[in-house]
Structure 1
Amino acid sequence: MGLRFAVDTGGTFTDLVVAAENGVLTMHKASTTPADPVAGVIDSLRLAAESVSETLADYLGRGEMLVHGTTHAINAIVTGATARTAFLTTEGHPDTLVFREGGRMEPFNFTIPYTEPYIPKALTFEVPERITVTGKIKKPLDETAVIAILDKLKVENVEAIGVCCLWSIVNPAHELAIGRLIEKHLPGVPYTLSHRINPSLREYRRASSTVIDASLKPVMGAYMRGLDQRLKEAGFNGRVLVVTSQGGVMDAEQVAETPVHLINSGPSMAPVAAFAYGAGAEAETLIVGDTGGTTFDVSLVRKGRIPRSRETWLGQPFRSHMTGMPSVDVKSIGAGGGSIAWVDAGGLLHVGPKSAGAVPGPVCYRRGGTRPTVTDAALVLGFLDADFFLGGKMSLDRDGAFEAIRRDVAEPIGKSVEDAAAAIMELATEHMVQAIMDITVNQGIDPTAAAFVAGGGAAGLNCVAIGRRLGCRRVVVPETGAGLSASGALISDLKSHYQAMFHTRSDEFDHAGLNAVLTQLEAQCTDFAKGPGAGASAVAIDWSTEARYVDQAWEIEVPLKNSRIEGDGDLDVFVGDFHATHQDIFAVSDPGAPVETVSWNAEIRCRIGSAEPGRLAPKSGSSLLASRRVRFMNAGWHEVEVHRFEALPEGAGIAGPAIIESDFTSIVIDPGARAVRDRSGSLIIDIIQ
């Protein structure tokens, strides 16, 4: 077995976790290069090679596998760098992307303009055809009209095409015919057919995922080809995998054909890592916070499962566009180490959502940044050691940070610089807590009964403060927490998701029809296991259905205990599980009411790496470093001991106030908290409320 690499490209840093042949992990961080993300990937690999005194080519030549988490897809959408895309849909239904599902965040706020459709009306074309809900062809496809439309697309210099016909999920004949015409008349132009990418019932979600996928194909295809080529030029000849929104990985070539799966690529891995490292939390629910330089991402692990959602928005709910694809349920806000602190005209302090990012970065990075950030505040408060940032590879400018906070925050709000720095940290913490509330309390989850798993390079600055504010009893910081998403990618499974629509009711259940659908889904999973999953050490299929009470507006995802529903006994188990899941989510259920299903899902997981999280190589010698003065947010200045994370022996306990530092993070142990290192290497922090 060769070296295995996992790279997560964030807004500020590119994280790399390497598993050596003996299973020992090493971590490395390089600055992200927004204009050329692959350069940051290569830079991180070069740092890893230098750490073992090898050339990059020799080091990569020992590589077996590289897993890449990327924000390139979402960045392309946000910056408008997607392909010029056309939308072809059934005649009489050109406004699917305009009307969407009719929701609004503030229904009576008419000052907010209605969101423009993802594809403009000028590039929306109606195709003469119609298939009914039963799959019957009511109006045959007018191929002459389709060819005329394609001729227009050629004149319009369209670069990609999304096709979503009404009820193609029941009978895809017309979409398939349109696909063949595109290949014949516009060869080389990528296209997406809705029944293939997202065979779901809801028309807007299916159409939206189709056009988003099509619009990303040229840019993500070029990115993946460029990544593969540059890795080969650098000396890597192993397998290149990419993290998907579903919390798994896929081969780069395959995911380039379905790039909509990459939109939440990076954040989806944090809960995978948290589940692996979170045994010491001793809690049924894990709240996972991943604090980077630009964003704070929150996700959950509940009863051993990572919740997923199809309501993934590319921005604010209802004011942006929905992907319509199953994705790890992640809440992201603009709050991280690089979040800029500023004071408005009314004298009110704000932190974020704008970030200094990798360029120019916080003031203390000495890279041209002029506006104070959360990292600058942490340096002024003593949370960070100016001479030991990134393990001493980078020296921070405390005087510059102090002056920026004085000028832009302290003087405008009439506070001392130290008080202003504490206010910045407190406000950033509150933003993060509110994001956690949105994904917990709003879904019926009591955060006081959960544990908080802190990841990301900036996580340690306020993880104890967040845990205390939430009422959590315990905070967990994995030893690879500074690269939480990358470490999750290293142990993730090769996954593929398959879906089929099949409507039936529990009071008149169609066993034969459903089991035929499930057999078809299982065959697709088997083909995947024999293809991309060949050689896997373990293979498993997770089954679920989207179901609801009869005439209910929205369905919920219910895990299935069996791969078939053969008789009344299996049906009773499924119906009971539905009622229990509905009760768990909405705190209400109706056990006497019939249940109807909408669609059925099969997700195959192929184990291609180690199922167990690795360990970093321990540091020898004493864990105690020099002490320093630290200003705690609610406890003033203290002279505290500073400990080396990697040198802490298993079972070693440290009472706050204290600081625990590694090469990549600084963990603030507030007064009243106590930290112990467990068998997995994680830091378990108990909080006295």
Structure 2
Amino acid sequence: MRIGIDVGGTFTDLVVTGVEGGIAQFKTHSTPMDPSIGVFRGLAEISETYGVTLDQLLLDVELIVHGTTVATNTLVERKGAKVALITTSGFRDLLEMREGLKEDRYNLRMASVEPLIPRYLRMGISERVKYDGSVHIPLDVESLRKTLLELKGEGVESLAVCFLFSFMNPDHELKAEAEIRKVFPDAFVSLSHEVLPQIKEFDRISTTALNAYVGPELGKYLGNLQQRMGDHGDQRKILIIQSNGGSAPIEDSIKFAVRSILSGPAGGAKGAAKVASSLGEENVIALDMGGTSTDISIIEGGRPHVANEKFEAGWKISVPMIDIHTLGAGGGSIARVDIGGVLRVGPDSAGAEPGPACYGLGGEDPTVTDAALLLGLLDGTSFLGGKASLDKNLSEQAIKSKVADPLGLSITDAAEGILRVVSNSIAEGIRLASVRKGLDPREFSMVAFGGAAGILANQVAREVGIHKVLVPQAGPVLSAFGMLTSELRYDFSQSYPSGLNVLDLEEMTSRLRIMEKQGKDQLRENGVTDEEINVEFSADMRYLDQIYEVTVPIPGLDLDGARLKEEWADNFHQRFEELYSYRQSDQEIRLVTLRVTASAPLPEIDDSGSAGNSVVDFDQDDAVMRQVYIGSWESVPVLKSDGILIGQKVRGPAIIESKFTTVVLNQFNEVTKNSDGTLIIGLENLVSDGSKGGVAAGSDPVTLSVVENRLESIAIEMMDVMLRTSMSQILNSSRDFSTAILDSKCRLIAQGEGIPVHVSALPIAGEAILNTFGDDIHPGDMFALNDPYNGGSHLPDITVIKPVFKNGELLFLTINRAHHSDVGGATHGGYNPSATEIFHEGLRIPPLRIHDKGRPRDDLLAMLSANVRLPENFLGDLNAQIGSVSIAERRILELVDHYDAGTLLAIIDGILSATERQVREFISDWPDGVFKGES
């Protein structure tokens, strides 16, 4: 018997495997003050179910794997330890300065993220290690001792130590730790060279401080859990799921607490990978939809994608973690009508209390759950396995007053609109998460799990173009199930900056082997044999001067040097092109960080007998019928999941219910039950009903919202490509660029975050191109300008524009304006305080064709680059702009194919009209007159 435990904010989920009947599911309420209480309530329910004492249950259990949100909640709720930071003198404010970005450029009064460690507890100590590991200034031990005594008086509970370049030479951090132990023998100590031994000081100081902040609270919880286990005679080591999808013993999990920030969602991704792999599906998109949010992760080759950095609650975490894209779209997402008359759903949620209106707990806002109930998709009499009931009348009142009446829709159309909008939001999230990885989501299947996923999974799949949806039998508790499918895993990293062409392979191999040995030793300490150990080598790489890396597997270390470098370079160029649509083969490749993963699988799960106990085939025509709205009101059969035979086919439309979830099938679905209980849903006729055609589409508030979301996601993808491929720090760090989409009349229809002064001038730049070239614009053309007299701003801001054609008709312009670090002129950077005329400022580019029918005009590009101080840097940034507008063209053409050009243009007219209404409403209470302001 094995038990997986996932502690969430509302419920604690438990899964038991290796028992009669296969997988057993349990849910109990979480206890935030001490989550171990909720865990033991769940264990007590399991022991009662199987008729044994809790002591006997724990003796019989072979393995417990546990995921917890303690670290996440500690960070989000700001209830962590009182932490002090010891860092290099002059760098204590780095934690507050962060990366120098303003997260919301349109909010003049935006509050800064509150630092985890107040300034009076951030202490600079005289010391300095240089980039090569040599000591420039020895550690001032006496000053450190005085500082520690001061911190002792402040009641510090935890300390973070982060010295510059300690990953090249940790001697000063180790000496500091020794001094800390003399004053704080029992304190939690986090050393940056252990937590994150790699380059980028903010990443390292943020991650190290986070580790010190959440570590004591996680340690307290896990200590309580261990003690309670010991009280019942169980002294086994519990494994804790990590953000990377692996598991580790409690001791390691406490020391590196930051590695478990995404503990619960990681279990869901692992569970989805296990379910899909058992069915021969190696490439799937995991869709975990709960009450508040939806988590999306991509599984390729049977393994979830792993990211090496992520922001959580405003703080950067730079450790390997399953790459999970979270959306504010769940069963409790609130629907509303904005002042422009457009329907919005989320990200605000009704939460568990008061919850959706139908809960009857005082909630008055309509939610996704209310819409599903009104359309007959949920059985209000047996919600959550009969533990609760839902009030349909309350749902109707909320939707009528806050959606239907304001939009002039029937209650049914309003409820359907809510589901369409939230489905589209999730579909756009899937598209964006996929294309950022260079993947086409239509080539993937979907694994849908979480309590709310079954209702919307098929609609979302149709929107994206996915042909198969898998709904696991353990779907409502798949995160807990997935924890039992994890592996013991240790990740190691070490920065080793070098050009690939001059790389010292012997030194690199030595560093990799040291990390490999560390991983193998830790696995052996946990009883793993050498035959079970798997080791993988990879590296973070980039083109010269970029700051965002691409992780690429390292070819076999046994290859000769020349061949290894050649294959490695080819792998990098190919991966870069997959992600960003182009490669720069003439650019130098830089190695930044080496990575080693050592892992060993946990024993296989025995889930035989999971499919339920039905032994008699049923006649679908004799099933209980219910009125359901699936495009129209129909009487459809309502089936129990455990009543469907293995291999039996069920045609939609139908509703399939199980204890904790509901699956909706429309008329184009056919479902088959697999031997492990998974429902395999095939989708036919993938033309989404989001495209309704006709002129009326332009005034449909639901379709307006759907298309607006799609256009915005394209503009955001343009920004992402630019950010990760540009070479100048003013672009990839300061983000001094803007992306947008114009229609053929040069009206702004979508934008990324952008710079306000850029965005307002982009339509003028588009008009300059159309006025200059007239009918001499063709598919595959691309244009550039920076002339202030043709829609430019100042000369460093170069605008790249790509026209989008369909069947010979110009429909849109994709546009990117970016501040280049140099455009010639008297001073580097284009800012010349002594300039008296524009010619002093640098190269002036009138509207210019830089690509002619798909072919680059190399002579013009050479002329441009010859007039700047750093031509390689200039062309690298220009290529980033070209990649950005090219990606947008591809996505827009997919949208045109989905709706057809005429319908799409009518919808866009509707969006612009709604925008005008919003603005007029916003300024309606302003007094008439002329007003002046100074800035």
Q: How does 1:91-106 map to 2 (within 5 A)?
A: 91-106=89-104
- The answer to whether 1:198 aligns with 2:188 is no
Cα gap change, 1:533/1:332 in structure 2, threshold over 3 Å: closer, same or farther? farther
- The answer to whether 1:646 aligns with 2:642 is yes
- The answer to whether 1:249 aligns with 2:247 is yes
* Residue in structure 2 matched with residue 470 of structure 1 by the alignment: 464
The CA deviation at 1:516 is 1.1
Identity of aligned residues (%): 35
2:49 counterpart (51, 58, 66): 51
2:214 counterpart (210, 213, 216): 216
C-alpha distance in 1 between matches for 2:480 and 2:186: 35
* Residue in structure 1 matched with residue 80 of structure 2 by the alignment: 82
- Structure 1 counterpart of 2:254, one-letter code: A
1:436 counterpart (430, 452, 455): 430
1:678 counterpart (655, 674, 681): 674
- Structure 1 counterpart of 2:240, one-letter code: V
Deviation readout 1:468-520 (Å, 9 max, x if unpaired)? 11121222212222222122111110111112222333322212111111121
Cα pair 1:536 1:606 within 8 Å, conserved: no
> Which is worse superposed, 275-284 or 156-165?
275-284
* Residue in structure 2 matched with residue 39 of structure 1 by the alignment: 37
* Residue in structure 2 matched with residue 384 of structure 1 by the alignment: 378
- Structure 1 counterpart of 2:37, one-letter code: A
Cα gap change, 1:472/1:202 in structure 2, threshold over 3 Å: closer, same or farther? same
1:616 is paired with a residue of what secondary structure?
Answer: coil
C-alpha distance in 1 between matches for 2:388 and 2:53: 22
RCO greater where, 1 or 2, for CA within 8 Å and sep 6 or more?
1
- Structure 2 counterpart of 1:214, one-letter code: A
The TM-score with structure 1 as length reference comes to: 0.92
2:582 counterpart (588, 591, 608): 588
* Residue in structure 1 matched with residue 153 of structure 2 by the alignment: 155
* Residue in structure 1 matched with residue 625 of structure 2 by the alignment: 628
1:250 is paired with a residue of what secondary structure?
Answer: strand
C-alpha distance in 2 between matches for 1:21 and 1:459: 27
The CA deviation at 1:234 is 5.7
Cα pair 1:12 1:292 within 8 Å, conserved: no
* Residue in structure 2 matched with residue 577 of structure 1 by the alignment: 571
- The answer to whether 1:138 aligns with 2:132 is no
* Residue in structure 1 matched with residue 205 of structure 2 by the alignment: 207
Cα pair 1:537 1:606 within 8 Å, conserved: no
Cα gap change, 1:8/1:659 in structure 2, threshold over 3 Å: closer, same or farther? same
C-alpha distance in 2 between matches for 1:15 and 1:589: 46
Cα gap change, 1:203/1:446 in structure 2, threshold over 3 Å: closer, same or farther? same
Q: How does 1:455-604 map to 2 (within 5 A)?
A: 455-534=449-528, 538-562=532-556, 567-591=561-585, 593-604=587-598
| Structure 1 spans left out of the alignment, 5+ residues | none
Cα gap change, 1:59/1:512 in structure 2, threshold over 3 Å: closer, same or farther? same
* Residue in structure 1 matched with residue 275 of structure 2 by the alignment: 277
Cα gap change, 1:449/1:421 in structure 2, threshold over 3 Å: closer, same or farther? same
C-alpha distance in 1 between matches for 2:38 and 2:330: 19
Cα gap change, 1:516/1:67 in structure 2, threshold over 3 Å: closer, same or farther? same
C-alpha distance in 2 between matches for 1:45 and 1:550: 55
C-alpha distance in 1 between matches for 2:624 and 2:466: 28
Cα pair 2:21 2:612 within 8 Å, conserved: no
The CA deviation at 1:137 is 1.0
C-alpha distance in 2 between matches for 1:276 and 1:158: 44
Larger Rg belongs to: 2
Taking only aligned residues, the RMSD between alpha carbons, in angstroms, comes to 2.7
| Structure 2 spans left out of the alignment, 5+ residues | 687-935
2:502 is paired with a residue of what secondary structure?
Answer: coil
Cα gap change, 1:563/1:643 in structure 2, threshold over 3 Å: closer, same or farther? farther
2:315 is paired with a residue of what secondary structure?
Answer: coil
The CA deviation at 1:141 is 0.6
- Structure 2 counterpart of 1:575, one-letter code: A
Cα pair 2:532 2:601 within 8 Å, conserved: yes
Cα gap change, 1:431/1:227 in structure 2, threshold over 3 Å: closer, same or farther? farther
Cα pair 2:626 2:637 within 8 Å, conserved: no
1:262 counterpart (249, 260, 263): 260
1:205 is paired with a residue of what secondary structure?
Answer: helix
Cα pair 1:243 1:489 within 8 Å, conserved: yes
* Residue in structure 1 matched with residue 602 of structure 2 by the alignment: 608
- Structure 2 counterpart of 1:628, one-letter code: M
1:662 counterpart (634, 639, 658): 658
1:58 is paired with a residue of what secondary structure?
Answer: helix
Cα gap change, 1:595/1:446 in structure 2, threshold over 3 Å: closer, same or farther? same
The CA deviation at 1:464 is 0.3
C-alpha distance in 2 between matches for 1:412 and 1:61: 61
Cα pair 1:7 1:66 within 8 Å, conserved: yes
Deviation readout 1:548-571 (Å, 9 max, x if unpaired)? 223332221112343566532333
1:659 is paired with a residue of what secondary structure?
Answer: strand
- Structure 2 counterpart of 1:684, one-letter code: I
1:433 is paired with a residue of what secondary structure?
Answer: helix
- The answer to whether 1:72 aligns with 2:73 is no
Cα pair 1:11 1:293 within 8 Å, conserved: no
C-alpha distance in 1 between matches for 2:426 and 2:500: 42
C-alpha distance in 1 between matches for 2:322 and 2:83: 27
Q: How does 1:294-333 map to 2 (within 5 A)?
A: 294-315=292-313, 320-333=314-327
2:659 is paired with a residue of what secondary structure?
Answer: coil
Cα pair 2:350 2:356 within 8 Å, conserved: yes
Cα pair 1:537 1:608 within 8 Å, conserved: no
C-alpha distance in 2 between matches for 1:30 and 1:420: 34
C-alpha distance in 1 between matches for 2:486 and 2:63: 12
Deviation readout 1:393-442 (Å, 9 max, x if unpaired)? 44444444445545555555554444443333233223322322331234
1:386 is paired with a residue of what secondary structure?
Answer: coil
Cα gap change, 1:469/1:536 in structure 2, threshold over 3 Å: closer, same or farther? farther
Deviation readout 1:23-43 (Å, 9 max, x if unpaired)? 921112223344443333233
1:338 counterpart (332, 343, 355): 332
* Residue in structure 2 matched with residue 453 of structure 1 by the alignment: 447
The CA deviation at 1:113 is 3.3
The CA deviation at 1:586 is 1.9
Cα pair 2:446 2:468 within 8 Å, conserved: yes
1:428 is paired with a residue of what secondary structure?
Answer: helix
C-alpha distance in 2 between matches for 1:452 and 1:65: 29
Count residues with an aligned counterpart.
Answer: 682
2:223 is paired with a residue of what secondary structure?
Answer: helix
- Structure 1 counterpart of 2:647, one-letter code: G
The CA deviation at 1:85 is 1.2
Cα pair 2:16 2:23 within 8 Å, conserved: yes
* Residue in structure 2 matched with residue 122 of structure 1 by the alignment: 120
Cα pair 1:281 1:476 within 8 Å, conserved: no
Deviation readout 1:433-463 (Å, 9 max, x if unpaired)? 2322331234432222222221111110100
The TM-score with structure 2 as length reference comes to: 0.69
- Structure 2 counterpart of 1:518, one-letter code: L
